[in-house]
Amino acid sequence: MHPLLILILTFVLLEFAVSSVLSWLNSKWMTHPVPEVLKGLYDEEKYRKQQEYMRTNKRVGWIERLVTLAITLVVLIPGVLGWLDNLCAEWSHSLLLQLLIFFGIYVVASAIISLPFSYYDTFVIEERFGFNKTTKTTFWLDTLKSLLLTLVLGAMLLSVIYLLYSYLGQSFWIWATLVCAIFILFFSLFYSNLIVPLFNKQKPLEKGELREAIEKAAGEMGFSIKKIYVIDGSKHSTKANAYFTGFGKKKRVVLFDTLIEQLSTEEIVAVLAHELGHNKHRDTIKNTVMSIVMVAVNLFVFSLLVDNPELSHALGGKRDHSFALSLIAFSLLFTPIDLILDPIINGVSRRGEYGADAFAAKHGHGEALISGLKKLSANTLSNLTPHPAVVWMSYSHPTLAQRITALLNV
């Protein structure tokens, strides 16, 4: 076996081990006593339901991880990707077309593998616990649309990156970063106009008590927001949410219809105050800059490895240079770096969440935010006692208990 393939397999197994240990730790922690600030959030029957929901998700999570691992090993060890790469080379003389065919097959195959899990999650688990609102038609249409979107956007981006590489050689990463940065900025600006309408309907929040309350509270916090939209989250799930998107003139607040249904006016205003806190602290801009820096680091490291024939050989490629195989080998070799970066990125994100909560509390919305978060948490049967290591590694938000404790101490 190629030594580099052994290294790649070690990383694949390492990632599997880390995620399995985290899942195991979390299930060990399930029986931990509920934190004092959350007492009474669930009654006994609802808590039983919550525990059952967690156990079901854990079991399915295990099966999914095992199946994914098995498929990864079956694909990597005999060199299936190398075989596919050779096949693409026979089908077309254009190197760019070979690359696009390879990734087209790769993306479609990955989508087919994950399909049974998302189907089971939506129509068995979420259905059983009363969360699912997605019809079969919506599910299939959404799956098809997101697959097409991935294929079209992926092909565009990949073509540009490949052409830059073929003209500039190793220094392509600088221009490729610039292209990716434009791509990221474009989609942060136009996400609401271009992507959201493919999956949801959104309309401006109607005049009335809620709109007036939001505009008044925003004014008191020094904001003037006119673009407040309601999105039909209820088309997919009963789970509620709200978010802030875009920069400058494109800035808009989006409330799920389910959020409006489940929370009182004061609580919605408090959730909005939290979102305005993010805006005040420029969290959206910071996140965008962080993603661009990450892309730059990735592309730079990739540029150092791309011409090394061993990357292709490790995956069973016959040719010395296959951009597709190099890219996949690189992404697998990058796994341990991701394992290090995840807790850092999530740590930064959690700090931003505390900051946004504190902003809401300082403007007098602390109490309403606590009751709003409690309702949302109870309605989604969220885990009240996640293991600290899981929080550290993978939580983009602090736990409910941590947020309430911090809010009480602002």
* Contact set with Zn ion (CB under 5 A): 353, 356
Pick from 347, 232, 227: which is nearest to 279 by CA? Answer: 227
Structure tokens at 340: 């290090």
Q: How far is the CB of 279 from Zn ion (least distance, A)?
A: 10
Non-local CB neighbours of 80 within 8 Å, separated by 6+ positions: 74, 316
Structural contact between residues 246 and 192, judged by C-beta atoms closer than 8 angstroms: yes
Q: Output helix, strand, coil percentages for the chain, rounded to the nearest 5.
A: 75, 5, 20
Structural contact between residues 253 and 229, judged by C-beta atoms closer than 8 angstroms: yes
Q: How far is the CB of 291 from Zn ion (least distance, A)?
A: 17
Please say which residue, 317 or 372, places its beta carbon nearer to Zn ion. Answer: 372
Residues 73, 79: Cα–Cα separation, whole Å: 10
Q: How far is the CB of 396 from Zn ion (least distance, A)?
A: 9
Please say which residue, 233 or 316, places its beta carbon nearer to Zn ion. Answer: 233
Please say which residue, 176 or 228, places its beta carbon nearer to Zn ion. Answer: 228
Q: How far is the CB of 278 from Zn ion (least distance, A)?
A: 6
Q: State whether the Cα torsion 327-329-333-339 is positive or negative.
A: positive
Q: How far is the CB of 126 from Zn ion (least distance, A)?
A: 23
Pick from 143, 147, 146, 67: which is nearest to 103 by CA? Answer: 147
Residues 222, 12: Cα–Cα separation, whole Å: 49
Please say which residue, 99 or 259, places its beta carbon nearer to Zn ion. Answer: 259
> Is residue 244 helix, strand or coil?
strand
Please say which residue, 88 or 217, places its beta carbon nearer to Zn ion. Answer: 217
Q: How far is the CB of 127 from Zn ion (least distance, A)?
A: 28
Please say which residue, 331 or 396, places its beta carbon nearer to Zn ion. Answer: 396
Please say which residue, 99 or 273, places its beta carbon nearer to Zn ion. Answer: 273
Structural contact between residues 274 and 373, judged by C-beta atoms closer than 8 angstroms: no
Residues 8, 16: Cα–Cα separation, whole Å: 13
Please say which residue, 175 or 354, places its beta carbon nearer to Zn ion. Answer: 354
Q: How far is the CB of 353 from Zn ion (least distance, A)?
A: 5
- Across 26-60, b (16+ Cβ under 10 Å) vs e yields bbeebeeeebebbeebbeeeeeeebeebbeebeee
Q: How far is the CB of 274 from Zn ion (least distance, A)?
A: 6
Please say which residue, 126 or 353, places its beta carbon nearer to Zn ion. Answer: 353
Please say which residue, 165 or 244, places its beta carbon nearer to Zn ion. Answer: 244
Q: How far is the CB of 284 from Zn ion (least distance, A)?
A: 11
Q: How far is the CB of 271 from Zn ion (least distance, A)?
A: 9
Amino acid identity of residue 394, one-letter, is S
256 alpha carbon, distance to own chain's centre? 18
Pick from 116, 92, 113: which is nearest to 102 by CA? Answer: 92
Structure tokens at 339: 């394992």
Residues 401, 407: Cα–Cα separation, whole Å: 10
